[in-house]
């Protein structure tokens, strides 16, 4: 079997790459082990344009946000599925200092911040708003399991998906193609998440996995709240009084799943957001790939021109991932230079 590109992994990174390569007329085969629990299947999928407690506007935020919205709209049209949910985000200040930091940011450049923020319209006495807050524009959340499922069926219809696990030691690099079993491809792209440096091609990239816990809750007393609540922790309304809440960052991988401490940490975050009683219906845990500064990294292997890497999307992956996938495909197909901040060869060699 001959394809243009072989993609290892069908998490968020691999799925975004598949869409962009298909959009450029390439034939792809995505190989994934279909594990029940992965970081992409567990992740909240939050899109928060102004993240962190300093409220800085990242370089290129407007372009990346517009591109992501356009990309997801096109993918929804192609699959006749709905997975991206535009939601108002109530960013609640955690302290007086945080409120003053926000005021100083607005004063420095009111025009820049006007595009991404507005007055807080949240009005519910069961939501804790001791220091005020603002409303983030352009945010929301993506149902990642739904997106991954829609992408998988889209690939299956094009004979572009297979269940399996690619052992990098079984990948042969020839002069004009790469080969795995009976598959020949012009190139292979590794998009393996937290296991991305556990192969012979990219064992030199410093991935530090972190564990994250998310809880599913029933909070009937605030069933009419439609905002995503964000203040250290977060609450995403899912309808009918159900919410997702999170999250944690743990580095201990010895026993990552079902950790009671993670559950307790998320519960503490929830109690700081709402005074309403709640019940926990389930706990979900995933392992994230974290690379330097939680930055996306990608590019061509330094000595194997047909081997590529795409990883580190992290908590901002839904927002930034489509733009980065587009840059990588431009690089692979057209030789366009990658952003220096993301190029693996510029940063780790």
What pLDDT digit, counting tens, does each position of 264-316 carry? 999 999 999 999 999 999 999 888 888 887 789 999 999 999 999 999 988 88
Contact of 186 with 179, CB cutoff 8 Å: no
**What does the domain layout of the chain look like in residue ranges?**
2-43+145-207+292-348, 88-138+210-288
Helix-then-strand count for the chain, H and E: 9, 19
Question: What pLDDT digit, counting tens, does each position of 119-149 carry?
Answer: 998 878 899 999 999 999 999 999 999 999 9
pLDDT above 70: residue 37 = no
Average pLDDT, integer, range 106-122: 93
Q: What's 62's DSSP letter?
A: H
pLDDT of 136 reads 94
pLDDT of 134 reads 96
Distances (CA, A) of 30 to 162, 174, 230, 272, 320: 6, 20, 35, 42, 21
pLDDT above 90: residue 8 = yes
Q: Report the b/e string of 280-293 with b at 16+ CB within 10 A.
A: eeebbbbbbbbbee
Average pLDDT, integer, range 46-53: 88
Question: What pLDDT digit, counting tens, does each position of 145-190 carry?
Answer: 999 999 999 999 999 999 999 999 999 999 999 999 999 999 999 9
pLDDT above 70: residue 39 = no
The total of other beta-carbon atoms located within 10 Å of residue 259's CB is 17
Average pLDDT, integer, range 233-257: 88
Distances (CA, A) of 97 to 10, 117, 184: 42, 19, 58
Beta strands in 53-199 (DSSP E): 84-86, 89-92, 117-118, 133-136, 140-142, 161-163, 171-173, 178-180, 183-190
The total of other beta-carbon atoms located within 10 Å of residue 212's CB is 22
pLDDT above 70: residue 99 = yes
Residue with tokens 């990346």: 64
Contact of 209 with 289, CB cutoff 8 Å: yes
2-43+145-207+292-348: in CATH 3.50.50.60: yes
Per DSSP, the residues of 217-281 read: EE-GGGTT--SEEEESEEEEEEETTEEEEE---B---SS-TT-HHHHHHHHHHHHTTB-S--EEE
More confidently predicted of 43 and 147: 147
Q: What does DSSP say about strands 28-32 and 161-163: parallel, antiparallel, or unpaired?
A: parallel
pLDDT above 90: residue 47 = yes
CB-based burial label for 239 (10 Å; 0-12, 13-18, 19+): exposed
pLDDT of 291 reads 87
Q: What is the largest CA-CA distance in the chain?
A: 67
Contact of 123 with 20, CB cutoff 8 Å: no
Contact of 332 with 323, CB cutoff 8 Å: no
pTM, rounded to two decimals: 0.94
pLDDT of 261 reads 86
Handedness of CA 38, 42, 46, 50 (dihedral sign): negative
pLDDT of 315 reads 80
pLDDT above 90: residue 257 = no
Contact of 51 with 188, CB cutoff 8 Å: no
pLDDT above 80: residue 317 = yes
Question: What pLDDT digit, counting tens, does each position of 192-207 carry?
Answer: 998 999 999 999 999 9
Residue 43 confidence class, pLDDT cut points 50, 70, 90: confident
In sequence order, the 6+-apart residues with CB closer than 8 A to the CB of 181 are 170
* d(C-alpha 215, C-alpha 143), whole Å: 15
88-138+210-288: in CATH 3.20.20.70: no
Closest CA to 231 of 274, 263, 264: 274
Mean pLDDT of the chain: 93
The HSE-up count of residue 117 (CA atoms within 13 Å, CB side) is 23
In sequence order, the 6+-apart residues with CB closer than 8 A to the CB of 177 are 184, 185, 186, 306
Distances (CA, A) of 112 to 27, 104, 191, 341: 41, 13, 34, 23
pLDDT of 258 reads 67
């Amino acid at each position: 079997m001959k394809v243009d590109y072989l993609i290892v992994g069908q998490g968020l990174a691999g799925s975004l790459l598949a869409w962009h390569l298909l959009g450029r007329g390439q034939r792809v085969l995505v190989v994934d082990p279909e594990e029940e629990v992965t970081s992409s299947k567990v992740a909240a999928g939050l899109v928060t344009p102004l993240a962190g407690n300093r409220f800085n506007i990242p370089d290129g935020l407007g372009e990346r946000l517009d591109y992501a919205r356009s990309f997801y709209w096109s993918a929804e049209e192609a699959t006749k599925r709905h997975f991206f949910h535009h939601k108002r985000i109530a960013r609640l200040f955690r302290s007086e200092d945080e409120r003053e930091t926000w005021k100083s940011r607005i004063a420095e450049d009111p025009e820049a911040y006007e595009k991404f923020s507005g007055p807080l319209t949240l009005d519910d006495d069961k939501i804790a708003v001791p220091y005020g807050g603002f409303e983030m524009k352009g945010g929301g959340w993506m149902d990642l399991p739904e997106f991954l499922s829609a992408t998988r069926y889209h690939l299956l219809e094009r004979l572009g998906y297979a269940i399996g696990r690619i052992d990098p030691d079984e990948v042969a690099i020839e002069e004009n193609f790469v080969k795995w079993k009976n598959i020949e491809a012009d190139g292979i792209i590794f998009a393996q998440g937290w296991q991305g440096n556990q192969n012979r091609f990219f064992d030199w990239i410093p991935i530090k996995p972190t564990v994250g816990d998310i809880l599913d809750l029933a909070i009937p007393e605030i069933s009419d709240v439609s905002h995503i609540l964000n203040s250290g922790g977060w609450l995403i309304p899912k309808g009918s009084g159900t919410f997702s809440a999170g999250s944690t960052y743990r580095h201990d991988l010895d026993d990552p799943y079902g950790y009671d401490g993670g559950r307790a940490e998320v519960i503490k975050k929830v109690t700081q957001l709402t005074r309403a009683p709640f019940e926990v219906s389930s706990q979900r845990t995933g392992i994230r790939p974290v690379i330097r500064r939680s930055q996306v990294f990608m590019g061509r292997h330094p000595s194997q021109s047909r081997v590529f890497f795409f990883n580190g999307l992290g908590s901002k992956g839904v927002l930034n991932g489509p733009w980065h996938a587009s840059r990588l495909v431009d690089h692979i197909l057209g030789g366009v230079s990658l952003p220096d901040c993301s190029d693996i060869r510029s940063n780790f060699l």
